[in-house]
Amino acid sequence: MNTLRNKVQLIGRLGQDPEIVNFTDGNKMAKFSLATDDSYKDKKGNKVERSYWHNIVVKGGLVNVVENYITKGKEIAVEGKLTNRSWEDKDGNKHYTTEIICSELLMLSK
């Protein structure tokens, strides 16, 4: 059951082309935003549609797949774990972000 403690599965579309980060040791990382859609009916019976944006980080061998095949607008499925991190900018303001560290990726668009 430990594998279910921090597991996220999403299907969505890329909001922009992935950003590929090259490190000095030769490793790479890919980052992109993924939009998931949801809809419901409000109290008056009107359909309300919403998009949620998720920050996705890909490391390891999957970066090559992202770099060569994944582009803005493509529909994909990702599986990974939620992480939170914070940092201070040059003005001393603290920023927080939640990211999904991707461990599995499935291309759904042709």
Say which CATH number the domain at 21 has.
2.40.50.140
Q: What pLDDT score does 109 carry?
A: 73
At residue 64's C-alpha, the angle toward residues 61 and 65, to 5°, is: 100
C-alpha to C-alpha distances, 42 to 45, 70, 95, nearest whole angstrom: 5, 35, 33
Domain residues for 75?
2-107
pLDDT tens per residue, range 48-68 = 999 999 999 999 999 999 999
Report which of 53, 40, 39, 55 is spatially closest to residue 101, judged by C-alpha positions.
55
Claim: this prediction has a pTM higher than 0.85 = yes
Query: For the chain, what is the domain count?
Result: 1
- Looking at the chain, the whole-number percentage of residues with pLDDT higher than 70 is 96
